[in-house]
Structure 1
Amino acid sequence: MENKIVIYGAYGHTGKFLVAQLYKQGYRPILSGRDADKLNTFNKEYPDLITKVADINSPETLDKAFADAEIIVNCAGPFLDTAEPIIKSALRLGKHYLDVSAEQKAVLDIFEQFSEEAKHANVTIIPAAAFYGGLGDLLSTTLTKDWDKVDEISSYIGLDSWHPTKGTRLTGERNHYQRFMYENHSLQPVLEVKSKTWEFPDPISTQQVVTVPLSEIITISRHINVNTINTYLSQNSLTDIRNEETPEPKAADEKNRSSQIFCMEVVAVKGDKKRTITAQGIDIYAVTAPLIVEALKRILTGRIQKPGVTTLGEAFDATDFLSALDVDDIVVSHIKETDL
């Protein structure tokens, strides 16, 4: 398992969670990033790991950093800036690529720019393989796997709080592009922010939620035959992230997770049938690590259903993928079906 995976942005908040989980499971990833000082400081925690400095503006350094690995995981946002040069390097070298983007524009650009080239190169590219984008895609795929078409998929994301990282704030400043919803089988500009009350399971409980379309709008729409996709986020978490005084997340347990609690509830409708599934856990940044690690394991062992640019739900058996996750990281409910 040594040197088969390179983590770009390894010293970032999400990157650190990923490196820790891989290391604990016996993997020895290559640590990479733009900042040599941060990389060397972080490397002191893992003195037996290889470090390679690489800059997105220098293709030669990227190719050199990634040459010995099989898979590149990009944890360095904003992905509007980092995804394209790193994917180009991955394609030059014939390496697989995953990232943790929540940015709609970045994910959409990846599908539009690299789908044909990746397919022909037999390279797997999975953008948004994270809490945003990936988890909602897995839940939606599991929920609708025996439906040939779906009327509507709605994701309700409840957070008890949101202490954003520096990376999240930088991405927010960079991501000034039009947001899209999905309606009538096509992407549509968001012209109206909708608000409603949603009853999440305890301890999130009842929250006001508002329309906030993120990367799962793109991932779900790429492979599920669905008419409408909605994403709602709890208003309290938006208030936190929009407040410049809200501090960064602080470690609160032995895994360095914050005390943040999340619940993602996905509802799918077909005709007079409604299905619901929920995923609950601690820390939306930390939970990205087990999602990525499970994907890496499956790629390395050849358990992938579709090469080219794809999604977690399309690339793998989504139900089996979710069941493989440790309940300490995420608890997924059984599917509940009711008549409308």
Structure 2
Amino acid sequence: MKIAVYGASGYQGKLVLAEAIRRGLTVVLVGRDAVRLQHAAAAVDLSSPDVRVAPVDDHDALVAAFGTADAVVNCAGPFAPTGAAVVRAAIAASRHYVDTAGEQPYIKAIFDTFGVQAQAAGVTVLPAANDACVPGDLIAALLAERLGPLEEISSIHLIAGGGGPSRGSLRSVVESIDIIMVGGLVYHDGDWRVGLPPRKTSIILPRSAQAVPVAKFPLPEVVTIPHHVQVRHVEGLAEAALAARLSVPIDPSIISGLPEGPAEQARATQRFTYLIDAVALDGRRARGVVEGPDTYGTTAVIAVESVRRLIADSAKPGVLAPAQAYDPAAFLHSLLPHNVRWTVQEGEEHTAGN
């Protein structure tokens, strides 16, 4: 099984390379700079690497590079300016595609643009194979199975520690600052909109009576969930302090002088909690909780597992949300060895992966 990693020399790209090699997959390193790709190969102890130079604006080079593998993982953020070209090349090469994007407008654009093309090519395109979107989307499917048609879903992100964002993440924030400042897209009555007020301004943490202030935030699962869940309203929220920090414009000139990303020791201190709260049309409520360490490391695990399953098991062609491509409980259980725990609770009922 061979995967082409586009953006292999970046911070997230090297983590995906390392995870793919750990899983016994063969990798093709693809990017615009041969020297940086060689350095990336050395960083993951890869001898005799298969390196393919393919700038994002060279469609033929991308198609040729991707054609040497079974599928493509795109880690080259920010995705808004370049991601569509990589998707187009993967489809032209008849290769399945996943990426690690978290940029909400980009993810919606991929669903809006490439569905017919991917179906015609017989390939699956799955954007946002990251630490938050995949578990959140899969949990939403499990909640809908329990409750039936839903009035609303709120997805809430809480992250502590970790040593700060990578340069690529900061560049994605710069690219997405306009949508961040307005709180992101909200799904309501069959379409995605901006400007709707949040339905929640605080949440109660699991196993605690503590209320945490939250604010609207452009989360990727707001785009993916309505593609498979019958729901009237979906909104994304983050801890208010985090949303406020990321709403302040960043001077792009300072990013290149920052560390490439958090050190491994810092990542080991990070903990995330993602809450997916659902309300049925009849008022019944349920909550899904996903908890784990190291958002960047978990993203690498999820991206590799996502592409591995597409190659090994296939899914229907087209642009898909995670729950349309994978069995939700089976995928979530695959994350347990990586210390990602999940629960789904309705009333006193309890379903757990721990």
Give the alignment's TM-score, normalised by structure 2. 0.86
Q: Which residue of 2 aligns with 1:223?
A: 228
Kept in 1, the 8 Å contact 2:79–2:106? The answer is: yes
| 1:61-76 correspondence to structure 2 within 5 Å | 61-76=61-76
In the TM superposition, residue 279 of structure 1 has moved relative to its aligned partner by 0.7
Q: Which residue of 1 aligns with 2:293?
A: 282
Q: Which residue of 2 aligns with 1:7?
A: 5
- Any idea what SS the aligned residue of 1:217 has? helix
Query: Are 2:185 and 1:180 equivalent residues in the alignment?
Result: yes
Amino acid at match of 2:17: V
CA distance in 1, matches of 2:150, 2:263: 40
Q: Which residue of 2 aligns with 1:337?
A: 346
CA distance in 1, matches of 2:166, 2:210: 25
* Alignment RMSD (CA, Å): 2.5
| 1:51-66 correspondence to structure 2 within 5 Å | 51-66=51-66
- Any idea what SS the aligned residue of 1:42 has? helix
Kept in 1, the 8 Å contact 2:217–2:243? The answer is: no
Q: Which residue of 1 aligns with 2:275?
A: 265
Structure 1 residues 233 and 161: CA distance shift in structure 2, 3 A: farther
Q: Which residue of 2 aligns with 1:300?
A: 311
CA distance in 2, matches of 1:82, 1:92: 16
Query: Are 2:104 and 1:104 equivalent residues in the alignment?
Result: yes
Q: Which residue of 2 aligns with 1:167?
A: 168
| 1:1-340 correspondence to structure 2 within 5 Å | 1=1, 4-44=2-42, 45-161=45-161, 163-178=164-179, 179-192=184-197, 196-201=201-206, 206-241=211-246, 249-253=261-265, 257-270=267-280, 271-304=282-315, 306-333=316-343, 335-338=344-347
CA distance in 1, matches of 2:211, 2:113: 41
Amino acid at match of 1:200: L
Structure 1 residues 77 and 203: CA distance shift in structure 2, 3 A: farther
- Any idea what SS the aligned residue of 1:290 has? helix
- Any idea what SS the aligned residue of 1:145 has? helix
Kept in 1, the 8 Å contact 2:158–2:272? The answer is: yes
In the TM superposition, residue 272 of structure 1 has moved relative to its aligned partner by 2.6
CA distance in 2, matches of 1:286, 1:43: 18
Kept in 2, the 8 Å contact 1:129–1:135? The answer is: no
Structure 1 residues 6 and 130: CA distance shift in structure 2, 3 A: same
Work out the percentage of aligned pairs sharing the same amino acid.
28
Count of matched residue pairs: 333
Q: Which runs of 5+ in 1 are unaligned?
A: none
Give the alignment's TM-score, normalised by structure 1. 0.90
Structure having the larger proportion of residues in helix: 2
Deviation string, structure 1 residues 111-144 (Cα, Å, up to 9, x no partner): 1111111112211000111124322111111221
- Any idea what SS the aligned residue of 2:237 has? strand
- Any idea what SS the aligned residue of 1:156 has? strand
CA distance in 2, matches of 1:92, 1:215: 25
Amino acid at match of 2:267: R
Amino acid at match of 2:320: T
Structure 1 residues 19 and 110: CA distance shift in structure 2, 3 A: same
Structure 1 residues 281 and 275: CA distance shift in structure 2, 3 A: same
